[in-house]
Amino acid sequence: MADKITPRSVDYSQWYIDIVLNAKLADYSPVKGCMVIRPRGFAIWERLRDELDRRFKETGHQNAYFPMFIPMSFLEKEAEHVEGFSPELAVVTHAGGEELDEPLVVRPTSETIIWSKYRDWIQSWRDLPLLYNQWANVVRWEKRTRLFLRTTEFLWQEGHTAHETQEEAEAETATMLEVYRRFAEEYLCLPVIAGRKSDAEKFAGAVATYSIEAMMQDKKALQAGTSHFLGQNFAKAFDVQFQTRDGQLDHVWATSWGASTRLVGAIIMTHSDDKGLVLPPSLAQEEVVVIPIFKNDNKATVLEYANRVVQSLKASGRRVAFDTDDSNTPGWKFAEWEMRGVPLRVEAGPKDAANGTVVMVRRDTGEKSFVSIDDIAAVAATTLATMQKDLLEKARAFRDANTRDVVSYTDLLEFYGKEKKAKPQAAIDGESHEGTAEATGGYARGLWCGSRECEAKLKADLKVTIRNMPSDQQDHVEGVCCLCGAPARHRAIFARSY
């Protein structure tokens, strides 16, 4: 098998690609910009999806499915929406051997087709709220793609809700942002900052966009989920009116919210190391791999012993892989299962069989311990629970260590380094490509006046953007904008981003 994982310190982008490919999570496709998700990668998505779906249902949402083909004219009904998406649309012009009367857009998102139906389904305040979600694929023709992080076609869920009042819709937007925040932290071990996007970064057609932002190991930010307050924009575009409690007609208030297979990329980039994938136990296809270590003369004994270990773990509800292959050495298997990101490795050899113990090794820390076979199930359970907490805390500590408060433009310049680019080690060694952006900076937290000009200047000078304005940090915004010195209106998180 491949043992080629480029160290992060040499080339972070290549490290990420090496992990995705070598851990067999995904592969390239014959169509540019698309990806094939392989079983080990899809298993992560499935677990993530099932848990998120559970949380949606817990908060009162139902699943539905809308078609992937959308009449071009639908998109054109909301001006900002079509303007935002038109550069990345895939359009079907021919079907059934004939040219279509009206081109069909392959959905880049489903607001328009969904609102065209909401118009039929909503008449009275008694029909509200409408809380629907769909799991689907969408297509956005991207110029520059990266496995999981930005692909032409990707999988996601999109929630679309309709409400009686503005307050109710805004509350829904906040509720779903909180669902994402908790899900990211509890289940994916991704510490995130929840907040509102600047106008420049908001969704095409939204009144306000909120996001959760995670920090990758190269200190760049990655948007891991979004929740939009759409106001009455789509209701007006699709003429969705309802009869209010006092007999008036009013347009409904809307939200939409989504998270995608990009989350898989975020998980890989947050937790993994130079040996391969590291996964939160919650997401791992197998939580434990049991590796028997035998010689020909003790093979039967060891396998029987190891099988007892496997049965004990399975009986306690663990997802277990049992690697009985006899053509590879234990060392090879250790490396292989580490690359695959299995959280716990249990080694059972002749010495262990004699002592009634096993060797247990944590993937995240490499820590080894000897455990009695009688305790294996209990110890595995507590160790996995600990790992789930530790991964979050490790990521949080990394983020906090790379977050700095800034008060002036000078601070920002110093933090991010003006146009600073480092040659990767490969280039220094005389090989290959131009420099990749050095892992400088991180999150800068500072005050902002709210002007588009300041934001644009920062992006032009340093490629740094406002990630969001943290919802829980908008009290006591007193002082001046760290960019222009005008009175500040918001506290913002700045970063380079994916």
Partner RNA sequence: CGGGACGUAGCCUAGCGGCUAAGGCGCCAGCUUUGGGAGCUGGAUAUCGGGGGUUCGAAUCCCCCCGUCCCGACCA
- Sites of contact with RNA (CB under 7 A): 1-4, 13-14, 17, 28, 32-33, 84-85, 87-88, 140, 142-147, 150, 197, 201, 203-204, 211, 223, 226, 275, 293-296, 299, 326-336, 338-339, 345, 347-353, 359, 361, 366, 432-437, 463, 465, 467, 497
Interior/surface letters 363-379, b for 16+ CB within 10 angstroms, e for the rest: bbeeeeeebebeebbeb
Q: What is d(CA 64, CA 53) in angstroms, rounded to the nearest whole number?
A: 12
Helix 39-58 / helix 262-271 crossing angle, nearest 10 deg: 110
- Sheet with 192-196, strands from edge to edge, namely 62-63, 130-139, 153-163, 253-260, 221-231, 208-215, 192-196, 465-470, 490-495, 443-448, 403-405
3-state secondary structure of 29: coil
CA 232 to chain centre: 29
Measured from the CB atom, the residue of 131 and 147 that comes closer to RNA is 147
Nearest distance in Å: CB 140, RNA: 6
Nearer to RNA, 14 or 402 (CB): 14
Per the CB < 8 A criterion, the answer to whether 35 and 27 are in contact is yes
Tokens 């539905």 belong to which residue?
64
Nearest CB to RNA, comparing residues 361 and 380? 361
Q: Smallest gap, in angstroms, from Cβ of residue 475 to RNA?
A: 24
- Cα separation, 420 vs 14, whole angstroms: 20
In this structure, are strands 403-405 and 443-448 parallel, antiparallel, or unpaired?
parallel
CB of 487 to RNA, least distance (A): 26
Q: Are 166 and 172 in contact (CB under 8 A)?
A: no
**Closest separation between CB of residue 149 and RNA, Å?**
10
Given the complex with RNA, which of 84 and 159 has the nearer CB atom?
Answer: 84
Residue 252 or 346: the one with the smaller Cβ distance to RNA is 346
Taking the complex as a whole, the smallest distance from the CB of residue 225 to RNA amounts, in Å, to 9
Calpha distance 288→341 (Å, rounded): 10
Closest distance of CB 368 from RNA, Å: 7
Which residue has tokens 């920002």? 412
Q: Least distance to RNA from the beta carbon of 338, Å?
A: 5
Q: In whole angstroms, how close is the CB of 82 to RNA at the nearest point?
A: 11
Residue with Cβ nearer RNA (435 or 479): 435
The DSSP 8-state label assigned to residue 496 in this structure reads -
> Which residue, 240 or 306, is less far from RNA as judged by CB?
306
Q: Measured from the CB of residue 316, what is the shortest distance to RNA in angstroms?
A: 21
> How many whole angstroms from its chain centre is CA 206?
21
- How far apart, in whole angstroms, are the C-alpha atoms of residue 150 and residue 166? 33
| Cα distances (angstroms) measured from residue 321 to each of 172, 220, 318, 333, 343 | 41, 35, 10, 12, 11
